[in-house]
Structure 1
């Protein structure tokens, strides 16, 4: 009970203490008269100003000031100076490479062909365009098939195989294949060739195969000793159309095709390397016993020559049986 009395008393004391200044200040204000009002107001203003200056000093010294900042930039790890220089140099090199890739290719000179300018696409032709734009060039092979050509186009010097089939070529000149030191095969099938210069193929040290079938050739030109295949079928080659002993020194000759011509004899001597001889549908009427064999050596065997075609000729093979004793097979033809 005594404790409760003390608490009530304490509360009353606190309430009185809090209300005291307010009532005393109100009393002071009420006691002021009008004469002293202006003087007191000036004093109050001066006092407020002094208090404001003191407050500024206290704020400057003791209180931390609020700084206004912009938003923080996004995190970015800047490279070190050396790394930056290297990265910049690498970027410049990549840009230069991209520019070089975008630039158009400059035509490069290639070995010059006969009668040509020797640019990237080959020498210019009579049709106003390079050979390899008119024809198709794959490696050393040049394909000019079925393009209505009336002459052999100038070829790149590195040509090894030339195909100009099914065109309208009428003549082969000496200059058409001049200085073609790598040329190995020439195929002029199904053109309109009537004449070939006698030395058109002599200056070709690597020439191995010549195909001039289905033309109007009346005489075979001189050919290098490097030949392995000669195909002059379906032409107009006659009695005087083949040089004497034309094939004797061709020690690598494997295939000789002269089908459908006007030949009236077998063009001997033939090299031992020969494997296939096609002379069907010509005008051959007779054969000698030493055409294929050696009458002085009965032990001589011509093993390589396994394919001889004489069918379609007015010859009776049974009249010369000694002509085949050295052969592995009898020629195909009329035996009656």
Structure 2
């Protein structure tokens, strides 16, 4: 008789433990569509995933819960190409079983975090997951949109081999401890037969005859009236979008052994060979904008500029300087706009 009582007690303990675990909220996830891209624009894929929270059991309540999304692995394909996770956002666009107003969050697009890290789609819900005393079953179902940012980067990723977007959705309690997790995988294809904007090409080149600019003060007239030298078509810029040209020196002074001259004794005038628009600046260690292009084109176009270096008349810094060959480095840069 004693053995029989002990056996029944053990069976009841197992049964009650199983029932208690069964009452915890459960998460399920599924993919709802295949995502295709055929141009470089931003794409929003509505209802790409569906996430369901289910609670079974009477008189249960979980407040201040959160819903997260985790990228399980890099978004790669069979060719080894990788779609940057930083270009993807998730957005909860619909809910059944509650409202976003009740929850208090959920409709803002959230960037994916690096693989293995949680991006919170809902952070501390105002609406509890609960069943009343006489309610055994309830559920909240979310529709998840995927937003893939457009841009010229897409052109290099086109392929017939689909990219795998493997996401885990996790339900967190009020202390951000995980209650449940479910994964779903969706395919993304960037079709090779689409129409894409190639990455813009930028280049800036100082022509050979202008790479060693030489500004000589040989006579008294050069000191009194200033010296000048011009390099026609000395600078060529290549761009397909608007741009700015900047110039700077790599130090504050021209140097000849232990002797120095401030770089501002020399001036630069950059003139467009096409429009004749010109900008003049004294040289400086701080970058200065000396030219701009405002045209966007379907392919890269080259623009030529004339470079003129000159000194101003009666500059006392030059008049009082010890004669020598002073040198310095000038850096030209192109800045996409």
User: Do they fold alike, i.e. is TM over 0.5?
Assistant: no
Q: TM-score, normalised by structure 1?
A: 0.22
Larger relative contact order (Cα-Cα within 8 Å, sequence gap ≥ 6): 2
Structure 2 length as normaliser, TM-score?
0.22
Bigger strand share = 2
Could you say which structure has the higher helix fraction?
1
